[in-house]
Amino acid sequence: MKQFDIPVRLRRLRKNASVRAMFDETSLVPAQLVQPVFLTDGPVPEPIESMPGIERLTIPALVEKCKILASLGVYGIAPFPKTPDDKKSPDGAESYNPENLICRAIRAVKAAVPEMVIFADIALDPYTTHGHDGVLTADGGDVDNDPSVEILCKMAVENARAGADFVAPSDMMDGRIAAIRAALDAEGLTGTGICAYSAKFASAYYGPFRDAVGSKTEAKNKISGLSKKSYQANPANRREAIREALFDEAENADMVMVKPAGIYLDIIRDVRENTLVPVVAYQVSGEYSQLVAAAQAGWLDLEACRDESLLAIRRAGADLILTYFAESFARSRCEK
């Protein structure tokens, strides 16, 4: 058989698993992942129908989960509460109650698993009766930016006092990073970092998450016309996302985030190339659920697609990934 004159053969660097491993350009290890977790004040963990395999955990169950995660090499969690309806209010005041579900959970985890790094979500949607990430104007026609930021500062301080390593403002209010940094420093909480949800897009992929925390706003929006699109980033805009990240870096965020991850890989790359702080990406609930559902139908290999999707996010430039696959990925690595 004739040999072609091809002096450069790229397949030489792919010839077997050992060679391929030597020349991997992108790494993916459990320590680069953060597991989002949902919490309930109920007596037992609660399954989340739209997120197969994920539960709302009680605080004792969360502590046990954190012990498992740490043993697998996953050292970060991002807890989110399902607030009982009787504790919700128009101004979300439960968010800065030092005895709320999240603050109690943070203290319990830090007492039992002190090495676990906690990213505390800072937004009002789990705590408001209307399901928005801030308080509304008097006429209910908009989310009122500056009063919302004042409440977010109170919430950030209480989460930091409870022991959160990073507060993670996901609300997308203007100016909140500088205000939260000032509030933390004024209380002597200078060691608490800020993970800014900088390019959080108004995405259709958040549906299962809103089921999990009980913050759906769709029915109310049809009545009021108020949409999260008035404060979350426009999916059509790349330059806007870069501006958001640069503003947050200038306001002293310790890291910036792009959310969702998988369908915004170009934004992750844009942000990585324009900022010097670490870049975080959030593989959101809809991304998780669509892969799990397709695998349950027999259409995809879940483990292979999980790993490929996470590798793509890392390759795009994410230093850290929030993903509901963190535990399963880490388990698979321990088994190999």
pLDDT value, residue 224: 56
Question: Crossing angle, helix 176-186 and helix 145-162, to 10 degrees?
Answer: 40
Q: Which residues contact 5 (CB under 8 A, 6 or more apart)?
A: none
Q: What is the pTM of this model?
A: 0.94
pLDDT value, residue 234: 97
Whether residue 260 has a cis bond before it, omega within 30° of 0? yes
Percent of the chain residues past pLDDT 90, beyond the cut: 88
pLDDT value, residue 222: 44
pLDDT value, residue 219: 40
Return the higher-pLDDT residue of 210 and 162.
162
C-alpha dist (Å) from residue 133 to 38, 61, 119, 138, 215: 17, 27, 17, 16, 10
Spans of all domains in the chain: 27-335
pLDDT, tens digit (0-9, with 9 covering 90-100), for 220-252: 444 456 889 999 999 999 999 999 999 999 999
pLDDT, tens digit (0-9, with 9 covering 90-100), for 245-258: 999 999 999 999 99
Catalytic sites, residue numbers: 200, 259
- Output the average pLDDT for the chain: 94
With the C-alpha atoms ordered 47, 50, 51, 56, is the resulting torsion angle positive or negative?
Answer: negative
The position carrying tokens 């060679």 is 19
Matching CATH number, 27-335, of 3.20.20.70, 3.30.420.40, 3.40.50.300, 3.40.50.1100: 3.20.20.70
Lowest mean pLDDT among 65-74, 117-126, 210-219: 210-219
Q: How confident is the model at residue 5 (pLDDT cuts 50, 70, 90)?
A: confident
Mean pLDDT of 161-173: 97
CB 114: neighbour CB atoms within 10 A? Answer: 9
pLDDT value, residue 218: 43
